[in-house]
Amino acid sequence: MTVFTLGAQAISGTLKDNNNAPLSYANVVVMTTDSFFVDGGVSDKDGGFLIPVPSDDNYLLKISSVGFQTVFRNCTIGSLGVIVIPEQSLVLGEAVVIAHRPVYELKNGKLITNVQNSLLSKIGTASDVLNHIPGVQGKDGAYSVFGKGTPSIYLNGRLVRDLSELERLGSENIARVEVLNNPGVQYDASVKAVIRIRTARPVGEGLGLDVRSRVEQSHKSGLMEQFNLKYSKNGLDLFGGFAYTLRNFYQESTLEQITCLDTLWRQNYTFDTDYKRHIYDGNIGINNQFNERHSAGVRYSINAMPKNSKVSFVRSQVYANESQYDYWENNSRTNERRGPKQQLNAYYTGMIGKLNIDFNADLLWNKDYAEDYAEESSLHFDDRAICSFSDNSVHLFAAKLILSHPLWGGDFSFGGEFASMKKNEYYKNEEAILPSTGNVAKEKTETAFLDYTRSWGNLDVSAGVRYEHVNYSFQDKFSGDSDLRRTYDNLFPFVSLSYPIGRVQSQLSYSEKIHRPDYGDLSNNIVYINRFSYKGGNPKLQPEIIHSLRLDLSYQWVQLSLDYQRFNDVILNVADPYDKDPRIVFVTYRNEGQLDCLNASLSLSPKIGLWEPMAYIGLRKQWFDTPWMDGFKAMNKPMLMFNFNNAFSLPKGFVVRADFSYQTKGASQNYILNQTGEIDLSLRKSFLQDRLSFNLQWFDVGHLSRQNIDLYSGINTAYQRAKLDSESVRLTVRFKFNMGRNKYKGSGAGQDVINRL
């Protein structure tokens, strides 16, 4: 694009497709009204364009892009706002063929999954969609990105605090999903991956209704009932919803724990655990699109789990130097009251001249209470009962402002974020087997960032830096010996280069990130597991720093990625002897040296007639020596992950899916993760032009999924074998009427603080 100097006259705007996605690299030409060429260029990665013109006159704008209709528009100098470019339709006789984007594509460092008009839109929920994106794993509120860990997830620009919300969002309402494997400086430095979900455009004004009912059967039965209402008129949206979920799940597991002291202790456990949760979710909000340049809104949400329970039966054999020391049985019950967790979000997005403004503010309140009661019967020692309770509360305020403006032919953005958190914890053991604890943790975070993006021909360059200032204090209410005060000042750089090599899109990026301990990991509360096992946090934990160098390549339906990471002061889950009794294993966290890791992945996603397959291969190889026994143990075994997903579009509105996954044995930090696999099947049928749908799903056919982990830590070695309650059959019935996209644009603030809570 022609270099534009500040103060010159220009025509600008933003190009988007039918799904409200930015239309990048479209040709934009300015002509006189009698069609003589004046100037031209291409839209940037966000769909924006800025074309200088010689005078304040009437012009003709021509916009063209492969797969889209050519659009002409009369214009004068200034901003034209958002211009929607329709997809191109080719009429052959009585048939209409629409040019569609591929389901998966790499663009400007983002892996984009185009859900709308693909079979993914018929899969069920947003949670199901995420589990079918290359490199993303998980469901039911627990997700991870291969090589990056837990992502931050945004829905229409709003940070999703309660991931169960994704179970309540239908896949047919999603336009696209973007995965950022190396997010820039606008995101918190602790965020190593971002998933952005964009919903489809509104289908109409007036009243809309979406009702869903789901029943499932695994070890026990569960259900969900949900309804959403929406009213839209002249840019004003009123929306609200409510959902109730009953979840029951069961777990069988064994644990062998070997501790080497002056005596060799071996403990063998078998666990049978039942969980039951009643979950209530509600939200209400208002959004006003004043015009194409200004919108604002407020959203209130509440989540409560007033009656959760966990019932466990544990059998324990303890050996000292291979001679039986004791046998005991433990019956325990935990009753929890979580919430209500309340959150209020307000936002404003707008444009004043050429200055873009994005502001968000969040308030959050939460309170949790739990009672634990356990009875232990011992073969050789006294029987005993243990009763304890915990009471925790959290208050948070956060605000975030992002400003952006065209500068020297590129785009300059800058902004800041503020977050203030206070958390109270109290724990008491009635029998005084464990000490009572109480603490107050406070944290204030102030950040500033700037970023500049510019194109030189086919080369796109983005560079930025983020500054974070964190004040953290930890006050022990019972003993001042554990009080801590810390201040952190960190700079986090980011740079990205994108360049097409022939028809191959390529991007090379570098970033520095941080992993701060979760607040629970910093707690000095000690939780009783059994008479030979306790667990607790470590208030002296330090953050770990991560350097990441990443290369992404994409050609049509093939994507290849290489990501090299270095972790300094890596945080490990460790098992140490308890200081008051070395026979007791104390499970906690500790910083341990440096870890290097290489992640490589290849995904293939062709479309063959009615068949939409997606094959994914991921390799993770780390280099790390963990302290173990009297020396170190090399934890370098590579791990492979395979996914092969298949979708078939059949006549009469039927969609059939068959998905396969497998993970080999390999190392992760000081763990060895053993092999596991899963097969999922589903059948969907729609009626009434897709207003009514039935979706039958069978997860983990044959109950193949396992969670088998070996832990090597200091004087302790542990072998866990867990059979999860993962095989289930689920039937979902859904009816929707006039439900389009919620145009709420709140993006949330304080994401790192809330994630760590």
- 743 confidence band (pLDDT: 50, 70, 90): low
* More confident: 583 or 559: 559
Assess contact for 722 and 251: CB atoms under 8 A: yes
Phi, psi of 165 (to 5 degrees): -60, -30
- List pLDDT tens digits, range 449-470: 999 998 888 888 999 999 999 9
Taking every pair of Cα atoms in the chain, the longest distance, rounded to a whole number of angstroms, is 100
The terminus-to-terminus CA distance of the chain in angstroms comes to 46
- Whole-angstrom CA distances from 24 to 39, 66, 502, 580 are 18, 11, 18, 63
In the chain, where the domains are located: 10-87, 92-199, 234-756
pLDDT value of residue 34: 65
* More confident: 39 or 193: 193
The Cα 48–Cα 6 span in angstroms is 16
- pLDDT value at 508 more than 90: yes
- List pLDDT tens digits, range 536-546: 888 888 999 99
pLDDT value of residue 96: 44
Assess contact for 104 and 559: CB atoms under 8 A: yes
Give every CB contact of residue 129 below 8 A, 6+ residues apart in sequence. 113, 115, 120, 123, 171, 174, 177
Q: What angle do CA 218, 222, 227 make, to 5 degrees?
A: 140
Average pLDDT, rounded, for the chain: 86
Instruction: Give the range with max mean pLDDT: 88-97, 150-159, 180-189, 427-436.
Output: 180-189
Q: Average the pLDDT over each of 530-534, 598-602, 694-698, 731-735 and give the range with the smallest value.
A: 530-534
pLDDT value of residue 671: 93
- Whole-angstrom CA distances from 350 to 268, 356, 503 are 62, 6, 36
Q: What is the CATH number of domain 10-87?
A: 2.60.40.10
* More confident: 185 or 119: 185
The Cα 175–Cα 117 span in angstroms is 8
Q: Average the pLDDT over each of 154-163, 476-485, 531-540 and give the range with the smallest value.
A: 476-485
- 121 confidence band (pLDDT: 50, 70, 90): confident
From the centroid of its chain, how far is CA 736? 27
Assess contact for 273 and 290: CB atoms under 8 A: no
pLDDT value of residue 481: 63
Give every CB contact of residue 241 below 8 A, 6+ residues apart in sequence. 168, 210, 226, 227, 228, 229, 281, 282, 283
Give every CB contact of residue 272 below 8 A, 6+ residues apart in sequence. 250, 251, 252, 312, 313, 314
Based on its alpha-carbon atoms, the radius of gyration of the chain, rounded to whole angstroms, reads: 28
Fold of 234-756: Maltoporin; Chain A (2.40.170)
pLDDT value of residue 66: 66
Q: What is the average pLDDT across 403-431?
A: 90
Assess contact for 387 and 375: CB atoms under 8 A: no
- pLDDT value at 297 more than 80: yes
- 701 confidence band (pLDDT: 50, 70, 90): very high
- 532 confidence band (pLDDT: 50, 70, 90): confident
- pLDDT value at 355 more than 70: yes
Share of the chain above pLDDT 90, in %: 43
Give every CB contact of residue 608 below 8 A, 6+ residues apart in sequence. none
- 315 confidence band (pLDDT: 50, 70, 90): very high
Phi, psi of 592 (to 5 degrees): -145, 90
Phi, psi of 321 (to 5 degrees): 50, 45
Q: Is the peptide bond before 340 cis (omega within 30 degrees of 0)?
A: yes
- 755 confidence band (pLDDT: 50, 70, 90): low
- 746 confidence band (pLDDT: 50, 70, 90): low
pLDDT value of residue 168: 76
Looking at the domain covering 92-199, what would its CATH class be?
Answer: mainly beta
Burial of 474 (0-12, 13-18, 19+ CB in 10 A): buried
Which amino acid is it at 617? I
- 126 confidence band (pLDDT: 50, 70, 90): confident
Q: Average the pLDDT over each of 158-167, 263-272, 359-368 and give the range with the smallest value.
A: 158-167
* SS3 (DSSP) at 519: helix
pLDDT value of residue 7: 37
- 93 confidence band (pLDDT: 50, 70, 90): very low
- List pLDDT tens digits, range 396-406: 999 999 999 88
- pLDDT value at 593 more than 70: yes
Q: What is the average pLDDT across 165-173?
A: 81
